[in-house]
Amino acid sequence: MTAIVTAKNLSQIYELKRGMFAKPLALKAVKETSFTVEQGETLAIVGESGCGKSTLARMLTMIEPPTEGELTIDGIRIAEASDSDLKRLRSIVQIVFQNPYGALNPRQKVGAILEEPLKINTSLSAAERRERAEKMLAEVGLRPEHYGRYPHMFSGGQRQRIAIARAIMLEPKILVLDEPVSALDVSIQAQILNLLAELQERLGLTYIFISHDLSVVRHVATRVMVMYLGRPVEIAPVEELYANPLHPYTRALLAATPAARPGRRGARQRLTGELPSPINPPTGCAFHPRCPYADERTKRERPELTQHGKTMVACFAVDEGRLPPPDAAVVETPEPRA
Amino acid sequence: MSLLTIRNLSVTFATASGPFRAVDGVDMTIAPGEVVGIVGESGSGKSVAMLGLMGLLPDSATVTADVISFEGRDMLKMSNRERRKIIGKDIAMIFQEPIASLNPCFTAGYQIGEALKTHLGLDKKAARRRTIELLSQVGIPEPERRMTAYPHQLSGGMSQRVMIAMAIACEPKLLIADEPTTALDVTIQAQILDLLLDLQRERGMAMILITHDMGVIAETAERVVVQYAGQQVERQSVANLFETPRHPYTSALLAAMPERARGGRLPTIPGVVPGQGDRPTACLFNPRCPKADERCRTVVPPRQPAELGEALCHYPVGADPRPPEAIPPGFGPLSRQPLEGGARASTIAPEVPGDAR
Amino acid sequence: MSHIEAQEAEAGVGESLPDRAPQKSVRRQMLAEFWFYFSENKGAVIGLCVFALVVIIALAAPIIAPHSPTLQNRDALLIPPFWEDGGRLSYLLGTDAVGRDILSRLIFGARYSLFIGVIVVVIAVSLGIAVGLIAGYVGGWVDTVIMRVMDIILAFPSLLLALVLVAVLGPGLTNAMIAIALVLQPHFVRLTRASVMAEKQRDYVTAARVVGAGPIRLMVVTILPNCLGPLIVQATLSFSNAILDAAALGFLGMGAQPPTPEWGTMLAEAREFILRAWWVVTFPGVAILITVLAINLVGDGLRDALDPKMKRS
C-alpha cells in the first residue's frame, strides 16, 4: 500500500467581497487539513454542509489551487508541477458530481460528452474516439444506441452512469465522487453503488467518496474522515468508526441518521443548535457550542488530531479520557436480513 | 370518525405528448392524531396526490375523485371559498425547500402574522403575541429578534421551523409535510423530525409525511403507504412493513438500502419508474419484478386483504399461491446470479426502459 | 421540490424513450415539443403567419407589385385609395404627392425593413455575444470596464444616440444600420454576460475544466450553446426594434434617403399631407405597426417555448 494522495496542512480561504469599500471577509472553507489516501482504497469524507468537503474535492481535482499547504498526487507536488506534469495529473484525477442533471452539458450529445476528454487530451482519430466511447457505454451499463442522444432523454440514474463514463474515459487512477448517489432514488442508488464497486475492482481505482449519508459510507468506504467546519475531527477505518465512534460529533451524526428499523426513535441523544457559520467560527474547538462534553478548555484551545488506537481524533474529552463509551443504540450492528 | 377520507383520487396532466396520469386511484383514510407516511421514489406521484388534494397544481392538471371528505364534509361539492377556509386553516402543508417557501420580501414575523390575521382574525397586537409564542414553540431561540429577520438571514433549519410555525399557527387538524427534511443536514433533520412529532403529539394533530427516505418513515410514521408510478402498491403498519413487506417492490426497495446490505453488492431493482411513454400493461411493476409472470403482464392485480399489506399484487411476498418451481427466481442474496468470470457489463443491471411494451 | 416533481410528472418522468426509436424521430420529437409549447400561444402563431407573409411579399416584390416603386405618374398625384371618391383601381392604395403607387412602395419597402432588421440584428448579436462572453467568463476588472461602458451607452435615449452617431457618420441607410446596431448591442452584452455567469457555475463546466478544456473551448463550445435561448428571444425583439428605429431615423431624414421606398422615409415625405391626404401617412404607419407587432408576438411565443422552466434539459 502506498499513498497516492498526500495532503499536508491544506487550507482554502475565499474572500467574500462586501461592496466596494468594506474590507472583504475571509471564509476559511478548509483549514490545515492533512490526510493521505492509499492506492486502491476508498476514503470517505463525511460531514454536513459547510464542512468543506466539496472545497476539498475542488482542490483535489485541481479546479482551485489550495491557498496554503501542500498537495502531492501520484508523487507530483502540485505547487511545483510543470505544465506537462499538470496535464498528466489532470487525466489521473477525475470527478463525478452530485447532481446528474447539472453535470452534463444539455446541448451536447452523449457521444460528444464522452469524447470530449479524448479530444482535448489525446490525438486519437474520430473513429477511434467513437469506438472507445461506445465501449465505455457498454462498460457502465448503457447501450450503444445511446451514443447519439441528448442528456435530457435520460433518467437521473442513467445520467449518473454517463457522468461516471466520462470520468473514466481518460483511465484515471483517482476518482473523486462528490455525493454521487445522494440525488438518486434508493433503487437507482444501489445500481450506481454496484457499478462503482465493480469499476473499482476491475480498474483498480482509488475513490475519494464524499457523502453526508453514513449508511452509504459504511457500505462503500475502507476509511472514513469526518469533517466539521473545515477540519477533520476523526479519521478511522470504517469498522472502527461504526463500532467505536470517538468524537462526539461522529456520535451525533450516527445518532441522527435515520435507521430503517421502526421504533428506534427517541432512544438517542440529539444534537442541539445550528451549524455555526464558517465565516465566523467558534473559538477553540469549533464543535464546543453543540458538544455535551465541552468544558472551559475546549472554548479556548483547539484540539489536534491524535492517535487513539486505530483512530485519529481531535477531541480533548477523548484525550483526557472523560468520554463515556458510545451509546449502545447508535453502534448496534444492523440485524441480518431475513 | 375519520378526519380525512379520500377515495379513488386521480390526477392527470395534459402534456405535449398526450395526457399523463401521475396519480391513479389513491385511497386514504386518516384518523385524528395519526401519523401516516407516504413513501415512494421520484415520479411515484406521492407529492402530486397531496398537492391535488390541496388544489395547488397547475392548470394543466385535472384532479378527479369519488370521495374527498374532511370531518364528514364533502370537499368536492364545496365552493372554492369554503374549500379555502379548510385549506390553510384545518389542513396545512409544509414543503421541502423551506427557504424558497418563504416570501423573501417580508420578515418571518410578518408572514406568520398575516396567516393569523386572515384565518383567525386576530388584531395586530394579538397576532404579534401569538407569533412570538409560536416561534418559541418551534424551538427558535430569541423569537422577538428572529421575528424581524428576513428569510435570507435564516438558515435552512430555521426557515423550516418558521414554516412549521406558520403551518401550525391556525391549529390545523391535519399537517401535510412534503419531504420536510430532505434539503436539511442530518443533525438538523433529526431536530426537525423530533419537533414535528412533538407538536403532533401535543396537539393531537394528524400528520401525513411524504418522503423518499425509508429511514425517516421507520422513525416517524405509524402507518405507511408505499406508492409506485402513481398507485398505492402497499398499505401496512410501519412495524409490519419493515418486518414482512408484502409487495415485491417494497421488499426490493428495503433490500436495496445500503444499511441493510452486508458487504459485497447491493441487490438492485433493474430499470426505472415507468414514465408516460412506457407505461406497462396490467401490473405497473411487472417489467422490473423478477417474480412476474404472464398473469402479471395481462391481468390487473387485485388489492390483497389487510393481512397481506393490502398489496396491489397477484403474488404477495410470503403468500405466493404458485408452486415453488413455478416462481421465477426472485430478489435477495441467494438468488443473485454470481458474477461469472469477473464482473462484466451485463451484470451491472442496465436500465431497461421500453421493455414494457 | 414538489412543484418540480409535479413538473417532472407533467413532462413524463424519465422520458425514457423506447430504445428502437431511430435518431431522426428523436429530433423530430424535440421539434414537436417545441411546436406544442409555441402553438399554445395563439398570438405567436398569428404573428408567425403574418411575418411569413411579409417575408414572402418582400421576396416576391417585383412580381406582385403593380407598379415600379419609383415611377412617378404626373397624371395621378395624391389619388385616394380605390374605395374613396376619385380612387382608381390601378392604384389600390392611392398615390403620393409625386404620383408613385403607395402599394408598390410598401411592398418594396418590406424588403428594406427586413434587410435592416437582419443586418442590424446580426451585427448587434455577434458583437454583443463576443463582448458579453468575455465579460461574463473573465470577470474581474475586465467585466467592470465593459459593463460600465455598456451602462453609459444605455444611459442615453437610444434614438438620440443613434441620431448622434448618424450625424457623425453622415446620413444614409448603411450608417443608420450601424448606429442602430451599436445602440442595441448592450442588451445582448448584458444578457450574454448574465447567462454566462450563471452557466459558469454549473457542474458540467467544471467537469469540462477537469478534463482539461481551455478557456476558449469552455466559452465557445461548452457555455455559449446553453445561453442561446434568451438570446434568440432578445434577437427577435431587437429585430422589430431595429425596424422601428430605422423608420424613426428615416422619418427624421437621417436614415434611408428619398426616393428609397423605406417605410420611415415614406412617412417623412408625407408629413405635409397629413391633413389633406390621410392615406399617404396611414399606410406606411400601418405597415410598420403590423410587422413590428407580428415579430413581437413571435418573440413572446419563442420565450414561452424556450423558457428554461419548461425545458428540462
Q: What is the pLDDT of residues B200-248, one digit of tens each?
A: 999 899 999 999 888 889 988 999 999 998 899 999 999 999 989 999 9
For residue A301, pLDDT beyond 50: yes
A195 → closest Cβ in B193, B333, B348: B348
State how far residue A321 is from chain C, nearest Cα, in angstroms. Answer: 45
Give the model's pLDDT for residue A91: 86
Give the model's pLDDT for residue B330: 56
Query: Cβ contacts (< 8 Å) between C8 and chain B: which residues?
Result: 42-43
For residue range A206-251, what is the model confidence (pLDDT) as tens digits?
999 999 888 899 899 999 999 998 899 999 999 999 889 999 999 8
Does residue C210 sit at the A interface (CB-CB below 8 Å)? yes
Give the model's pLDDT for residue C309: 45
Contact B179 C12 (CB under 8 A): no
Closest residue in chain B to residue A201, using alpha carbons only: B343
Mutation target among C20, C210, C311 for the A interface, most CBs of A within 10 A:
C210
Long-range contacts of B61-65 (CB under 8 A, 24+ apart): B61/B11, B61/B12, B61/B13, B61/B14, B61/B22, B61/C6, B61/C10, B62/B11, B62/B12, B62/B13, B62/B14, B63/B9, B63/B10, B63/B11, B64/B8, B64/B9, B64/B10, B64/B11, B64/B12, B65/B6, B65/B7, B65/B8, B65/B9, B65/B10
Q: Per mean pLDDT, which range of A88-97, A262-271, B99-108, C76-85 is the poorest? A: A262-271
The domains found in chain C, sorted by start residue, are: 41-306 (1.10.3720.10)
For residue range C50-80, what is the model confidence (pLDDT) as tens digits?
999 999 999 998 999 888 888 888 888 888 8
For the segment B76-91, the average pLDDT, to the nearest whole number, is: 84
For residue range B46-60, what is the model confidence (pLDDT) as tens digits?
888 888 888 888 888
B262 → closest Cβ in A187, A212, A336: A336
User: Which residue from C37, C16, C274, C236 is spatially nearest to C120, judged by alpha carbons?
Assistant: C236
Closest residue in chain C to residue A103, using alpha carbons only: C204
Give the model's pLDDT for residue C126: 94
Looking at chain A, the whole-number percentage of residues with pLDDT higher than 70 is 93
For residue A268, pLDDT beyond 80: no
Mutation target among A168, A274, A287 for the B interface, most CBs of B within 10 A:
A274
Looking at chain A, the whole-number percentage of residues with pLDDT higher than 90 is 36
Contact A105 C16 (CB under 8 A): no
Band (pLDDT 50/70/90 cuts) for residue B334 is: very low
Does residue C27 sit at the A interface (CB-CB below 8 Å)? no
Closest residue in chain A to residue C313, using alpha carbons only: A152
Closest residue in chain B to residue C31, using alpha carbons only: B16
Instruction: State how far Cα C136 lies from the chain centre.
Output: 24
Give the model's pLDDT for residue B336: 37
Contact A212 B257 (CB under 8 A): no
Average pLDDT over chain A, rounded to whole?
Answer: 86
Contact C26 A95 (CB under 8 A): no
Give the model's pLDDT for residue B332: 41
Give the model's pLDDT for residue C270: 84
Interchain CB contacts (distance < 8 Å): A and B: 163
For residue range B167-211, what is the model confidence (pLDDT) as tens digits?
888 889 999 999 988 888 888 888 889 899 999 999 899 999 999
Query: Cβ contacts (< 8 Å) between B100 and chain C: which residues?
Result: none
State how far residue A108 is from chain C, nearest Cα, in angstroms. Answer: 8
Give the model's pLDDT for residue C15: 36
For residue range C99-132, what is the model confidence (pLDDT) as tens digits?
888 899 999 999 988 898 899 999 999 999 999 9
Contact C204 A103 (CB under 8 A): yes
Average pLDDT over chain B, rounded to whole?
Answer: 83
Band (pLDDT 50/70/90 cuts) for residue B318 is: confident
For residue range A39-98, what is the model confidence (pLDDT) as tens digits?
999 999 998 888 888 899 989 998 888 999 999 998 888 888 888 888 888 889 999 998
The answer to whether the beta carbons of residues C233 and C303 sit under 8 Å apart is yes
Rounded Cα distance, B219 and B193, in Å: 9
For residue range B338-355, what is the model confidence (pLDDT) as tens digits?
333 333 333 334 444 433
Band (pLDDT 50/70/90 cuts) for residue B356 is: very low
B231-237 β-sheet, strand order:
B91-94, B174-178, B206-211, B35-39, B223-228, B231-237
Query: Cβ contacts (< 8 Å) between B351 and chain C: which residues?
Result: 16
Contact A255 B190 (CB under 8 A): yes
Query: Cβ contacts (< 8 Å) between A253 and chain B: which residues?
Result: 186-187
The answer to whether the beta carbons of residues C81 and C94 sit under 8 Å apart is yes
Q: Give start and end residues of each alpha helix (H) in C201-277.
A: 203-210, 215-217, 228-251, 263-270
For residue range A15-42, what is the model confidence (pLDDT) as tens digits?
877 666 677 778 888 988 999 999 999 9
B261 → closest Cβ in A219, A256, A259: A219
Give the model's pLDDT for residue B153: 85
State how far residue C305 is from chain B, nearest Cα, in angstroms. Answer: 12
Give the model's pLDDT for residue A331: 55
Rounded Cα distance, C301 and C238, in Å: 15
Contact A155 C213 (CB under 8 A): no
State how far residue C138 is from chain B, nearest Cα, in angstroms. Answer: 28
Tally the residues of chain A: 338
Does residue B214 sit at the A interface (CB-CB below 8 Å)? yes
Give the model's pLDDT for residue B352: 41
Contact B15 C1 (CB under 8 A): no
Residues within 8 A of A (CB atoms), B 264-323 only: 265-270, 272-273
Give the model's pLDDT for residue C137: 93
ipTM greater than 0.85, yes or no? no
